[in-house]
Structure 1
Amino acid sequence: MAWLRPISAQVIGTSFEDIPCHSGLYFDPLDPETPHPLPNQTEQPILNWPPTSDQLGFNAYYTPYDQASIGLSDGDSVGVTNRNSIVGAFSDGDQGYEISDCDGNFTLEFTPIDLQEFSQASLSIDVWIATTGYEGNGVNNTAQSDRLHIYVQDLDQTQQRDLLNTTGYDINDLDIEGRWLRRSVDISDFNQAQLVVTARNNTAAEAFYLDRIQVEGTLASNSINQTNPVIFPNPAKNSFTLLGHDQANTLLTLYDVFGHNVWTSDSKSLTHDVSMLHSGLYFLSLVKDQNTRTQKLIIE
Protein backbone atom coordinates (compact mmCIF):
# COMPACT_ATOMS: atom_id res chain seq x y z
CA MET A 1 0.00 0.00 0.00
CA ALA A 2 1.52 3.32 -1.01
CA TRP A 3 1.18 6.05 1.59
CA LEU A 4 2.70 8.80 -0.56
CA ARG A 5 3.10 8.99 -4.32
CA PRO A 6 5.94 11.11 -5.70
CA ILE A 7 4.85 14.69 -4.98
CA SER A 8 6.14 17.78 -6.77
CA ALA A 9 5.82 20.87 -4.60
CA GLN A 10 7.39 24.18 -3.71
CA VAL A 11 9.76 23.37 -0.88
CA ILE A 12 10.55 26.92 0.24
CA GLY A 13 11.01 30.38 -1.21
CA THR A 14 10.49 34.10 -0.73
CA SER A 15 9.13 37.10 -2.59
CA PHE A 16 10.02 39.46 0.29
CA GLU A 17 6.32 40.17 0.86
CA ASP A 18 5.82 39.49 4.58
CA ILE A 19 8.68 41.74 5.66
CA PRO A 20 8.35 45.31 6.98
CA CYS A 21 9.23 47.83 4.29
CA HIS A 22 10.89 51.13 5.27
CA SER A 23 11.40 54.00 2.86
CA GLY A 24 14.60 55.98 2.62
CA LEU A 25 18.24 54.94 2.49
CA TYR A 26 20.32 52.45 4.44
CA PHE A 27 23.35 53.81 6.36
CA ASP A 28 26.01 51.30 7.37
CA PRO A 29 27.34 52.26 10.85
CA LEU A 30 30.46 50.04 10.60
CA ASP A 31 33.94 50.66 9.16
CA PRO A 32 33.81 50.64 5.31
CA GLU A 33 37.48 49.63 5.16
CA THR A 34 36.88 46.19 6.71
CA PRO A 35 34.63 43.24 5.72
CA HIS A 36 31.61 42.82 8.01
CA PRO A 37 27.99 41.71 8.27
CA LEU A 38 25.55 44.52 7.51
CA PRO A 39 23.29 45.08 10.54
CA ASN A 40 19.65 46.07 10.29
CA GLN A 41 19.10 49.67 11.36
CA THR A 42 15.97 51.06 13.02
CA GLU A 43 13.49 52.57 10.55
CA GLN A 44 15.80 51.84 7.62
CA PRO A 45 15.36 49.24 4.85
CA ILE A 46 15.62 45.65 6.08
CA LEU A 47 18.77 43.85 4.93
CA ASN A 48 18.51 40.66 7.04
CA TRP A 49 15.52 38.45 7.90
CA PRO A 50 15.19 35.13 9.75
CA PRO A 51 13.71 32.05 8.06
CA THR A 52 10.30 30.55 8.80
CA SER A 53 8.96 27.13 7.90
CA ASP A 54 7.73 28.40 4.52
CA GLN A 55 10.00 31.40 3.84
CA LEU A 56 13.73 31.63 3.19
CA GLY A 57 15.72 33.91 5.47
CA PHE A 58 18.73 35.95 4.35
CA ASN A 59 21.75 37.84 5.65
CA ALA A 60 23.77 40.64 4.05
CA TYR A 61 27.55 41.22 4.12
CA TYR A 62 29.92 43.92 2.89
CA THR A 63 33.47 43.53 1.55
CA PRO A 64 35.47 46.62 0.45
CA TYR A 65 37.31 47.16 -2.81
CA ASP A 66 41.02 46.41 -2.82
CA GLN A 67 41.34 50.16 -2.31
CA ALA A 68 38.52 50.74 0.19
CA SER A 69 35.88 53.37 -0.57
CA ILE A 70 32.96 54.78 1.44
CA GLY A 71 30.93 51.60 1.15
CA LEU A 72 27.36 52.00 2.36
CA SER A 73 28.21 54.60 5.01
CA ASP A 74 26.87 57.49 2.89
CA GLY A 75 23.33 56.11 2.59
CA ASP A 76 22.29 53.84 -0.28
CA SER A 77 19.27 52.04 -1.74
CA VAL A 78 19.68 48.46 -0.56
CA GLY A 79 17.42 45.92 1.14
CA VAL A 80 13.73 45.06 1.02
CA THR A 81 11.86 47.70 -0.98
CA ASN A 82 8.52 48.54 -2.57
CA ARG A 83 10.02 51.24 -4.81
CA ASN A 84 9.03 50.21 -8.32
CA SER A 85 9.91 53.33 -10.33
CA ILE A 86 12.61 51.39 -12.21
CA VAL A 87 11.04 47.92 -12.51
CA GLY A 88 7.47 49.15 -13.08
CA ALA A 89 6.09 46.25 -11.04
CA PHE A 90 7.71 43.48 -9.06
CA SER A 91 7.34 40.01 -10.53
CA ASP A 92 5.45 38.64 -7.50
CA GLY A 93 3.62 40.99 -5.16
CA ASP A 94 4.55 44.54 -4.19
CA GLN A 95 8.06 44.11 -2.76
CA GLY A 96 11.48 42.87 -3.76
CA TYR A 97 15.13 43.26 -2.76
CA GLU A 98 17.34 46.05 -4.16
CA ILE A 99 21.14 46.30 -4.36
CA SER A 100 22.35 49.69 -5.59
CA ASP A 101 25.39 51.99 -5.21
CA CYS A 102 27.09 49.80 -2.59
CA ASP A 103 30.62 51.17 -3.35
CA GLY A 104 32.11 47.77 -2.64
CA ASN A 105 30.95 44.16 -2.67
CA PHE A 106 27.47 43.32 -1.38
CA THR A 107 26.75 39.65 -0.61
CA LEU A 108 23.33 38.24 0.23
CA GLU A 109 23.28 34.70 1.62
CA PHE A 110 20.02 32.76 1.98
CA THR A 111 19.22 30.04 4.49
CA PRO A 112 20.68 26.63 3.52
CA ILE A 113 18.05 24.03 2.54
CA ASP A 114 18.24 20.31 3.25
CA LEU A 115 17.41 18.47 0.00
CA GLN A 116 18.40 14.93 0.93
CA GLU A 117 14.79 13.69 0.93
CA PHE A 118 14.20 14.80 -2.67
CA SER A 119 14.80 12.86 -5.87
CA GLN A 120 14.69 16.07 -7.93
CA ALA A 121 15.08 19.74 -7.01
CA SER A 122 15.51 23.10 -8.71
CA LEU A 123 15.96 26.73 -7.68
CA SER A 124 14.63 29.74 -9.58
CA ILE A 125 14.94 33.51 -9.11
CA ASP A 126 13.70 36.64 -10.90
CA VAL A 127 16.34 39.33 -11.53
CA TRP A 128 16.03 42.87 -12.89
CA ILE A 129 19.15 44.79 -13.95
CA ALA A 130 18.54 48.52 -14.37
CA THR A 131 19.38 50.01 -17.75
CA THR A 132 22.39 52.31 -17.41
CA GLY A 133 26.09 52.60 -18.27
CA TYR A 134 27.91 49.87 -16.35
CA GLU A 135 31.70 49.94 -16.05
CA GLY A 136 34.42 47.37 -16.59
CA ASN A 137 34.09 43.60 -16.79
CA GLY A 138 33.78 42.69 -13.11
CA VAL A 139 37.15 40.95 -12.89
CA ASN A 140 38.97 43.50 -10.75
CA ASN A 141 37.81 44.41 -7.25
CA THR A 142 37.56 48.12 -8.02
CA ALA A 143 34.93 50.84 -8.38
CA GLN A 144 35.06 50.65 -12.19
CA SER A 145 34.37 46.92 -12.35
CA ASP A 146 30.64 46.25 -11.93
CA ARG A 147 29.38 42.68 -11.62
CA LEU A 148 26.46 40.48 -10.54
CA HIS A 149 26.97 36.84 -9.64
CA ILE A 150 24.07 34.63 -8.50
CA TYR A 151 24.75 30.99 -7.69
CA VAL A 152 23.73 28.01 -5.57
CA GLN A 153 26.37 26.26 -3.49
CA ASP A 154 26.20 22.82 -1.89
CA LEU A 155 27.64 23.18 1.60
CA ASP A 156 28.15 19.41 1.92
CA GLN A 157 29.96 18.83 -1.35
CA THR A 158 31.69 22.19 -1.92
CA GLN A 159 30.27 22.60 -5.41
CA GLN A 160 28.33 25.49 -6.91
CA ARG A 161 26.14 26.18 -9.93
CA ASP A 162 25.58 29.59 -11.54
CA LEU A 163 22.22 31.16 -12.29
CA LEU A 164 23.77 34.40 -13.56
CA ASN A 165 27.41 35.50 -13.69
CA THR A 166 28.50 38.69 -15.48
CA THR A 167 32.13 38.39 -14.37
CA GLY A 168 34.41 38.78 -17.38
CA TYR A 169 31.85 40.78 -19.37
CA ASP A 170 30.60 44.35 -19.64
CA ILE A 171 27.00 44.09 -18.38
CA ASN A 172 25.89 46.42 -21.18
CA ASP A 173 26.99 43.85 -23.78
CA LEU A 174 24.88 40.96 -22.41
CA ASP A 175 21.34 42.10 -23.34
CA ILE A 176 20.04 41.46 -19.82
CA GLU A 177 18.96 44.97 -18.75
CA GLY A 178 15.53 46.52 -18.34
CA ARG A 179 13.32 43.45 -17.86
CA TRP A 180 12.65 40.64 -15.43
CA LEU A 181 14.83 37.61 -16.12
CA ARG A 182 13.77 34.19 -14.81
CA ARG A 183 16.84 32.10 -13.97
CA SER A 184 16.66 28.45 -12.91
CA VAL A 185 19.14 25.71 -12.10
CA ASP A 186 18.87 21.98 -11.39
CA ILE A 187 20.19 21.08 -7.92
CA SER A 188 18.90 17.51 -7.69
CA ASP A 189 22.34 16.24 -6.65
CA PHE A 190 22.77 18.84 -3.87
CA ASN A 191 22.44 17.95 -0.18
CA GLN A 192 22.60 21.36 1.56
CA ALA A 193 21.76 24.05 -1.00
CA GLN A 194 22.38 27.74 -0.34
CA LEU A 195 21.52 30.61 -2.70
CA VAL A 196 24.14 33.39 -2.78
CA VAL A 197 24.01 36.76 -4.55
CA THR A 198 27.16 38.90 -4.87
CA ALA A 199 27.02 42.36 -6.42
CA ARG A 200 29.40 45.23 -7.10
CA ASN A 201 28.24 48.68 -8.26
CA ASN A 202 28.99 52.29 -7.40
CA THR A 203 26.24 54.65 -8.61
CA ALA A 204 22.54 55.02 -7.78
CA ALA A 205 21.64 54.24 -11.40
CA GLU A 206 23.42 50.86 -11.19
CA ALA A 207 20.71 48.82 -9.50
CA PHE A 208 19.92 45.11 -9.25
CA TYR A 209 16.54 43.77 -8.04
CA LEU A 210 15.59 40.29 -6.82
CA ASP A 211 12.14 38.69 -6.50
CA ARG A 212 10.19 35.39 -6.62
CA ILE A 213 12.77 32.95 -5.32
CA GLN A 214 11.44 29.38 -5.41
CA VAL A 215 12.92 26.01 -4.51
CA GLU A 216 10.83 23.18 -5.96
CA GLY A 217 11.33 19.47 -5.46
CA THR A 218 9.92 16.02 -6.06
CA LEU A 219 9.69 13.80 -3.02
CA ALA A 220 11.01 10.29 -3.54
CA SER A 221 8.49 7.44 -3.74
CA ASN A 222 7.89 5.44 -0.58
CA SER A 223 5.95 2.22 -0.14
CA ILE A 224 4.87 0.52 3.06
CA ASN A 225 2.94 -2.57 4.06
CA GLN A 226 -0.24 -2.73 6.10
CA THR A 227 1.64 -2.60 9.42
CA ASN A 228 3.40 0.71 8.76
CA PRO A 229 1.87 4.11 9.64
CA VAL A 230 -0.10 6.24 7.22
CA ILE A 231 -0.53 10.02 7.55
CA PHE A 232 -4.02 11.16 6.62
CA PRO A 233 -4.83 13.56 5.14
CA ASN A 234 -1.58 14.47 3.42
CA PRO A 235 -1.49 17.36 2.59
CA ALA A 236 -3.03 18.35 5.92
CA LYS A 237 -4.47 21.66 7.09
CA ASN A 238 -5.10 22.01 10.81
CA SER A 239 -4.52 18.42 11.90
CA PHE A 240 -3.46 14.97 10.74
CA THR A 241 -4.27 11.43 11.79
CA LEU A 242 -1.66 8.70 12.10
CA LEU A 243 -3.11 5.33 11.10
CA GLY A 244 -1.69 1.84 11.48
CA HIS A 245 0.67 2.64 14.34
CA ASP A 246 0.65 1.89 18.05
CA GLN A 247 1.52 5.27 19.55
CA ALA A 248 2.17 4.02 23.08
CA ASN A 249 5.67 5.13 24.12
CA THR A 250 6.17 6.85 20.76
CA LEU A 251 7.76 10.30 20.39
CA LEU A 252 6.56 12.27 17.37
CA THR A 253 8.67 15.16 16.10
CA LEU A 254 8.18 17.45 13.09
CA TYR A 255 11.20 19.01 11.40
CA ASP A 256 11.11 21.77 8.78
CA VAL A 257 13.27 21.80 5.63
CA PHE A 258 16.06 23.53 7.54
CA GLY A 259 16.24 20.63 10.01
CA HIS A 260 14.68 22.61 12.88
CA ASN A 261 12.50 20.84 15.44
CA VAL A 262 9.18 22.74 15.22
CA TRP A 263 6.71 20.38 16.95
CA THR A 264 6.92 17.47 19.36
CA SER A 265 4.26 15.19 20.87
CA ASP A 266 4.15 12.02 22.94
CA SER A 267 0.33 11.95 22.90
CA LYS A 268 -1.39 8.59 22.43
CA SER A 269 -4.12 10.28 20.40
CA LEU A 270 -4.43 9.27 16.75
CA THR A 271 -5.18 12.87 15.65
CA HIS A 272 -2.68 15.67 16.15
CA ASP A 273 -3.21 19.43 16.00
CA VAL A 274 -0.73 21.31 13.79
CA SER A 275 -2.79 24.47 13.25
CA MET A 276 -0.01 26.55 14.80
CA LEU A 277 2.44 25.68 12.01
CA HIS A 278 2.95 27.57 8.76
CA SER A 279 2.17 25.92 5.44
CA GLY A 280 5.08 24.03 3.96
CA LEU A 281 6.90 20.71 3.85
CA TYR A 282 7.80 18.86 7.07
CA PHE A 283 9.35 15.56 8.06
CA LEU A 284 7.63 13.54 10.78
CA SER A 285 9.98 11.43 12.90
CA LEU A 286 8.49 8.55 14.93
CA VAL A 287 10.77 7.14 17.63
CA LYS A 288 9.67 3.96 19.45
CA ASP A 289 11.84 1.41 21.27
CA GLN A 290 15.00 3.06 19.88
CA ASN A 291 13.72 2.64 16.31
CA THR A 292 13.15 5.69 14.12
CA ARG A 293 10.88 6.02 11.10
CA THR A 294 10.50 9.21 9.05
CA GLN A 295 7.47 10.26 7.00
CA LYS A 296 6.86 13.35 4.87
CA LEU A 297 3.99 15.70 5.69
CA ILE A 298 2.78 18.72 3.73
CA ILE A 299 0.76 21.35 5.61
CA GLU A 300 -1.39 23.66 3.50
Structure 2
Amino acid sequence: MFDAGYRASLIYGSDAPIVNTGGELQGLEDLREAYVEMNVPIGTGLNVKFGQLISLLNYESGDGGAANANFSQGYQWFYTGNGPSAGVQLGYTFTDWLDAKIRLQNGMFTGAVDGNGYKTVMGSLGIKADAKTSLSVIGFAGREGGASSLWLKGGSLIASRVLSEKGNVTLAGEFDYFTTERAAASSADWWSAGGWLSTDITSKFGIALRGEYIGDGKGAGTSGLLGFPANAGMDLYSATLTFNWKPLPNVKIQPEVRYDHTSLSGGFDGETSRVILGMGASYLF
Protein backbone atom coordinates (compact mmCIF):
# COMPACT_ATOMS: atom_id res chain seq x y z
CA MET A 1 0.00 0.00 0.00
CA PHE A 2 1.27 3.45 -0.89
CA ASP A 3 1.44 5.93 1.96
CA ALA A 4 3.34 9.09 2.82
CA GLY A 5 4.22 11.24 5.79
CA TYR A 6 6.72 13.79 6.99
CA ARG A 7 8.96 14.49 9.95
CA ALA A 8 10.60 17.65 11.25
CA SER A 9 12.60 18.13 14.43
CA LEU A 10 14.35 21.16 15.89
CA ILE A 11 17.15 21.61 18.39
CA TYR A 12 18.00 24.77 20.33
CA GLY A 13 20.99 25.88 22.38
CA SER A 14 24.73 26.37 22.08
CA ASP A 15 25.23 22.85 20.68
CA ALA A 16 22.73 23.30 17.86
CA PRO A 17 25.17 24.75 15.26
CA ILE A 18 27.60 21.87 15.92
CA VAL A 19 25.04 19.06 15.86
CA ASN A 20 23.38 20.49 12.74
CA THR A 21 26.41 20.58 10.45
CA GLY A 22 26.52 23.66 8.24
CA GLY A 23 23.22 25.05 9.47
CA GLU A 24 24.69 28.03 11.30
CA LEU A 25 26.03 29.31 7.98
CA GLN A 26 22.69 29.00 6.22
CA GLY A 27 20.13 30.36 8.69
CA LEU A 28 19.11 26.82 9.66
CA GLU A 29 20.98 26.41 12.93
CA ASP A 30 17.90 25.14 14.78
CA LEU A 31 16.86 22.56 12.18
CA ARG A 32 17.77 18.96 13.00
CA GLU A 33 15.89 17.14 10.27
CA ALA A 34 12.98 17.75 7.92
CA TYR A 35 11.93 15.24 5.29
CA VAL A 36 9.04 13.63 3.45
CA GLU A 37 8.81 9.83 3.63
CA MET A 38 6.93 7.53 1.27
CA ASN A 39 6.33 3.80 1.07
CA VAL A 40 6.09 2.60 -2.52
CA PRO A 41 4.34 -0.80 -2.89
CA ILE A 42 7.18 -2.63 -4.62
CA GLY A 43 8.06 -6.04 -3.18
CA THR A 44 8.31 -5.70 0.60
CA GLY A 45 7.97 -1.94 0.21
CA LEU A 46 10.42 0.64 -1.13
CA ASN A 47 11.06 3.33 1.47
CA VAL A 48 11.78 6.77 -0.02
CA LYS A 49 12.95 9.80 1.95
CA PHE A 50 13.92 13.24 0.68
CA GLY A 51 14.83 16.40 2.55
CA GLN A 52 17.24 17.13 5.39
CA LEU A 53 18.35 13.68 6.59
CA ILE A 54 20.36 12.52 9.61
CA SER A 55 23.57 10.67 8.74
CA LEU A 56 23.80 6.90 8.36
CA LEU A 57 27.18 6.96 10.13
CA ASN A 58 27.98 6.33 13.82
CA TYR A 59 26.64 4.13 16.58
CA GLU A 60 25.78 7.15 18.72
CA SER A 61 22.89 9.43 17.89
CA GLY A 62 23.42 13.16 17.51
CA ASP A 63 20.47 13.63 19.88
CA GLY A 64 22.82 13.18 22.84
CA GLY A 65 21.93 11.67 26.18
CA ALA A 66 18.22 11.56 25.41
CA ALA A 67 18.97 8.78 22.90
CA ASN A 68 22.38 7.49 24.05
CA ALA A 69 23.53 5.65 27.15
CA ASN A 70 26.33 8.21 27.57
CA PHE A 71 25.49 11.86 28.20
CA SER A 72 28.34 13.52 26.30
CA GLN A 73 28.91 13.05 22.59
CA GLY A 74 31.87 10.88 21.66
CA TYR A 75 34.76 12.08 19.51
CA GLN A 76 33.90 9.55 16.81
CA TRP A 77 30.63 11.33 16.14
CA PHE A 78 32.42 14.64 15.62
CA TYR A 79 35.60 13.64 13.76
CA THR A 80 34.60 10.47 11.89
CA GLY A 81 30.96 11.21 11.26
CA ASN A 82 28.84 13.89 9.66
CA GLY A 83 25.77 15.90 10.52
CA PRO A 84 22.47 16.09 8.64
CA SER A 85 22.51 16.86 4.93
CA ALA A 86 19.90 17.39 2.23
CA GLY A 87 19.40 14.45 -0.07
CA VAL A 88 17.32 11.55 -1.35
CA GLN A 89 17.42 8.06 0.17
CA LEU A 90 16.03 4.71 -0.96
CA GLY A 91 15.66 1.85 1.49
CA TYR A 92 14.59 -1.75 0.97
CA THR A 93 14.18 -4.73 3.31
CA PHE A 94 15.08 -7.93 1.47
CA THR A 95 14.50 -10.36 4.36
CA ASP A 96 13.97 -10.18 8.10
CA TRP A 97 17.77 -10.16 8.48
CA LEU A 98 18.96 -8.03 5.53
CA ASP A 99 18.20 -4.47 4.45
CA ALA A 100 19.95 -1.82 2.36
CA LYS A 101 19.93 1.97 2.01
CA ILE A 102 21.40 4.15 -0.73
CA ARG A 103 21.55 7.93 -0.52
CA LEU A 104 22.54 10.83 -2.79
CA GLN A 105 23.18 13.95 -0.73
CA ASN A 106 24.98 17.26 -0.62
CA GLY A 107 28.61 16.97 0.50
CA MET A 108 29.51 15.17 3.72
CA PHE A 109 29.78 18.35 5.78
CA THR A 110 27.60 20.91 4.01
CA GLY A 111 24.19 20.70 5.67
CA ALA A 112 21.09 21.79 3.80
CA VAL A 113 22.81 23.93 1.14
CA ASP A 114 25.92 22.85 -0.75
CA GLY A 115 28.71 25.18 -1.84
CA ASN A 116 29.32 23.43 -5.16
CA GLY A 117 27.60 21.19 -7.66
CA TYR A 118 29.18 17.94 -6.46
CA LYS A 119 27.29 15.31 -4.49
CA THR A 120 28.15 12.48 -2.13
CA VAL A 121 26.86 8.91 -2.41
CA MET A 122 26.40 6.93 0.80
CA GLY A 123 25.14 3.40 1.20
CA SER A 124 24.61 0.95 4.03
CA LEU A 125 23.93 -2.75 4.38
CA GLY A 126 22.18 -3.84 7.57
CA ILE A 127 22.51 -7.42 8.80
CA LYS A 128 20.68 -8.96 11.77
CA ALA A 129 22.35 -12.27 12.51
CA ASP A 130 19.75 -12.95 15.20
CA ALA A 131 17.45 -11.05 17.55
CA LYS A 132 20.43 -9.95 19.67
CA THR A 133 23.06 -9.15 17.04
CA SER A 134 23.19 -6.42 14.39
CA LEU A 135 25.82 -5.28 11.92
CA SER A 136 25.94 -2.25 9.63
CA VAL A 137 28.45 -1.85 6.80
CA ILE A 138 28.60 1.68 5.36
CA GLY A 139 30.51 3.23 2.47
CA PHE A 140 30.61 6.75 1.04
CA ALA A 141 32.37 8.79 -1.64
CA GLY A 142 32.04 12.29 -3.02
CA ARG A 143 33.95 15.20 -4.52
CA GLU A 144 34.44 17.63 -1.65
CA GLY A 145 37.11 20.00 -2.94
CA GLY A 146 36.98 22.91 -5.35
CA ALA A 147 38.21 20.68 -8.18
CA SER A 148 36.33 17.73 -9.61
CA SER A 149 39.34 15.47 -9.08
CA LEU A 150 39.39 15.83 -5.27
CA TRP A 151 37.51 13.04 -3.49
CA LEU A 152 36.59 12.22 0.08
CA LYS A 153 35.95 8.50 0.58
CA GLY A 154 35.57 6.10 3.44
CA GLY A 155 33.65 3.44 5.24
CA SER A 156 32.36 2.33 8.59
CA LEU A 157 31.60 -0.90 10.41
CA ILE A 158 29.15 -0.81 13.34
CA ALA A 159 28.18 -3.87 15.37
CA SER A 160 26.18 -4.49 18.53
CA ARG A 161 25.29 -7.54 20.59
CA VAL A 162 22.93 -7.98 23.55
CA LEU A 163 25.04 -10.20 25.78
CA SER A 164 22.25 -10.79 28.28
CA GLU A 165 18.59 -9.86 28.17
CA LYS A 166 18.62 -9.82 31.95
CA GLY A 167 19.95 -6.38 32.77
CA ASN A 168 20.03 -5.48 29.05
CA VAL A 169 23.81 -5.98 28.91
CA THR A 170 24.85 -4.58 25.51
CA LEU A 171 28.25 -4.51 23.82
CA ALA A 172 28.86 -2.39 20.71
CA GLY A 173 31.78 -1.37 18.54
CA GLU A 174 32.50 1.00 15.69
CA PHE A 175 35.37 1.39 13.22
CA ASP A 176 35.56 4.33 10.79
CA TYR A 177 37.99 5.23 8.01
CA PHE A 178 38.21 8.48 6.02
CA THR A 179 40.61 9.43 3.21
CA THR A 180 40.71 12.75 1.37
CA GLU A 181 42.59 14.10 -1.61
CA ARG A 182 44.13 17.57 -1.26
CA ALA A 183 45.08 20.00 -4.01
CA ALA A 184 48.33 21.32 -2.49
CA ALA A 185 49.46 18.21 -0.60
CA SER A 186 49.39 14.45 -0.64
CA SER A 187 46.21 12.63 0.31
CA ALA A 188 45.49 12.19 4.01
CA ASP A 189 43.56 9.63 6.00
CA TRP A 190 42.24 9.36 9.54
CA TRP A 191 40.41 6.63 11.39
CA SER A 192 38.70 5.82 14.65
CA ALA A 193 37.74 2.86 16.82
CA GLY A 194 35.32 2.83 19.72
CA GLY A 195 33.49 0.50 22.07
CA TRP A 196 30.48 0.70 24.38
CA LEU A 197 29.32 -1.50 27.24
CA SER A 198 26.08 -0.73 29.05
CA THR A 199 23.72 -2.43 31.46
CA ASP A 200 20.58 -1.73 33.47
CA ILE A 201 21.37 -2.80 37.02
CA THR A 202 17.78 -2.15 38.05
CA SER A 203 14.73 -0.74 36.29
CA LYS A 204 15.79 2.74 37.45
CA PHE A 205 19.60 2.63 37.45
CA GLY A 206 22.16 1.75 34.80
CA ILE A 207 25.83 2.20 33.90
CA ALA A 208 27.46 2.89 30.54
CA LEU A 209 31.15 2.80 29.56
CA ARG A 210 32.65 4.22 26.38
CA GLY A 211 36.22 4.11 25.09
CA GLU A 212 37.43 5.56 21.80
CA TYR A 213 40.51 6.43 19.76
CA ILE A 214 41.03 8.84 16.86
CA GLY A 215 44.14 8.44 14.70
CA ASP A 216 44.77 11.55 12.59
CA GLY A 217 48.37 11.42 11.41
CA LYS A 218 48.21 14.49 9.13
CA GLY A 219 45.59 16.63 10.88
CA ALA A 220 43.07 16.33 8.06
CA GLY A 221 40.24 15.33 10.40
CA THR A 222 40.93 17.41 13.54
CA SER A 223 43.15 20.40 12.72
CA GLY A 224 41.47 23.65 13.74
CA LEU A 225 38.16 21.94 14.48
CA LEU A 226 35.96 22.14 17.59
CA GLY A 227 38.49 23.86 19.85
CA PHE A 228 41.69 22.20 18.66
CA PRO A 229 44.39 24.51 17.27
CA ALA A 230 45.71 24.04 13.75
CA ASN A 231 48.03 21.04 13.80
CA ALA A 232 49.87 18.57 11.60
CA GLY A 233 48.31 15.51 13.23
CA MET A 234 47.56 13.88 16.56
CA ASP A 235 46.21 10.87 18.40
CA LEU A 236 43.12 11.38 20.55
CA TYR A 237 41.89 9.10 23.34
CA SER A 238 38.78 9.25 25.51
CA ALA A 239 37.15 7.14 28.24
CA THR A 240 33.72 7.90 29.70
CA LEU A 241 31.67 6.51 32.58
CA THR A 242 27.99 7.48 32.75
CA PHE A 243 25.35 6.65 35.33
CA ASN A 244 21.77 6.49 34.07
CA TRP A 245 19.09 7.18 36.67
CA LYS A 246 15.38 7.11 35.82
CA PRO A 247 13.49 8.42 38.87
CA LEU A 248 10.32 8.62 36.75
CA PRO A 249 9.33 6.65 33.63
CA ASN A 250 9.97 9.58 31.26
CA VAL A 251 12.88 11.23 33.09
CA LYS A 252 16.55 10.31 32.61
CA ILE A 253 19.35 11.89 34.65
CA GLN A 254 22.95 11.19 33.60
CA PRO A 255 25.88 12.18 35.84
CA GLU A 256 29.15 11.48 34.05
CA VAL A 257 32.93 11.55 34.34
CA ARG A 258 35.08 11.71 31.21
CA TYR A 259 38.85 11.55 30.62
CA ASP A 260 40.39 12.88 27.39
CA HIS A 261 44.02 12.74 26.23
CA THR A 262 45.74 14.04 23.10
CA SER A 263 49.25 13.63 21.77
CA LEU A 264 49.10 17.26 20.59
CA SER A 265 51.14 19.48 22.89
CA GLY A 266 48.79 21.95 24.61
CA GLY A 267 45.79 20.60 22.72
CA PHE A 268 43.39 21.17 25.64
CA ASP A 269 43.96 24.82 26.61
CA GLY A 270 47.66 24.22 27.20
CA GLU A 271 47.30 20.67 28.54
CA THR A 272 47.43 17.23 26.95
CA SER A 273 44.88 15.63 29.31
CA ARG A 274 41.68 16.71 31.01
CA VAL A 275 38.90 15.35 33.21
CA ILE A 276 35.34 16.57 32.66
CA LEU A 277 32.49 16.16 35.14
CA GLY A 278 29.02 16.71 33.75
CA MET A 279 25.37 15.83 34.08
CA GLY A 280 22.43 15.79 31.72
CA ALA A 281 18.70 15.59 32.28
CA SER A 282 16.19 14.50 29.64
CA TYR A 283 12.41 14.29 29.54
CA LEU A 284 11.41 11.63 27.03
CA PHE A 285 8.08 12.25 25.34
Q: Assess same fold via TM > 0.5.
A: no
**Greater helix fraction, Structure 1 or Structure 2:** 2
TM-score category (smaller protein): under 0.3
**Greater strand fraction, Structure 1 or Structure 2:** 2
User: Which structure has the higher relative contact order (CA within 8 Å, separation 6+)?
Assistant: 1
